[in-house]
Amino acid sequence: MGMTENLLSTGQWLVTAVLFLLVLVQAARSVDWRGFSRDNALQHSFFGAAVALGFLWQMRAGISPGLAIHIFGMTVITLMLGWALAVFSGLLALVITVITGREPATMFAANGLITVMVPALVSHGIMLWERRRNFSNFFAYIFFCGFFGAGLAVMAAGTVMCLLLWTSGAYEFEDLVNEYIRYLPLFMLPEGFVNGTIVTGLMVFHPDRLTTLDQSRYR
């Protein structure tokens, strides 16, 4: 989805920067940094996810500025690392896109909020909902947290992006509907499939990599 320069007003740029910093501070406070420094497997997942996302986000489609389409992948990262570490891993991936010239450094906060933080928080919320429902079948975790959660995450990110572009005056609402919003349900399908498939594979072969998975709940 990448925000390019001159798409947001100065006020919106400041608001997104403040929200970005608030979420970042909360994420930093939520991470068990001592545990992270001692867990080599978690470190490998963290940096591996960042590199994988950094390269995945190089592949995108779209004609109009700010309306690029690409697979996010933040849902599976959130289920693997927890939302706080997923935010830092996603931001590290975003640094890669800035270095390669795919995103402008001046829009790092806006892109971080839309591409990383919103999907991570939505995925975390779906995971908490599934946990509170206390489903006993592991397919509930795969379907709700993986497939369904990823679809909702990309829908939420797309909605936030469109609201920013509309209120900034960069696009008329009709243009956003014609160029992006009406295709949003189609974007949700591949996002859900990719994330859900990876979550399924991890759950079968490497369930220990999913830190949000409580295996004792399922039978």
Indicate the SS3 state at residue 75. helix
Which residue's entry shows tokens 């900034």?
Answer: 168
The CA distance from 74 to 67, in Å, is 18
Low-confidence residues of the chain, pLDDT below 70?
A: 1-5, 61-66, 219
The reported pLDDT for the residue numbered 5 is: 62
The CA distance from 124 to 115, in Å, is 15
Q: Which residues pair with 19 in a beta bridge?
A: none
CA-wise closest residue to 30 among 82, 89, 80: 82
The reported pLDDT for the residue numbered 109 is: 93
The reported pLDDT for the residue numbered 62 is: 62
Burial degree of 138 (CB within 10 A; 0-12, 13-18, 19+): middle
Structure tokens at 167: 């209120």
Residue 8 phi, psi dihedral angles, 5° rounding: -110, 150
Domains and CATH numbers, the chain: 10-217 (1.10.1760.20)
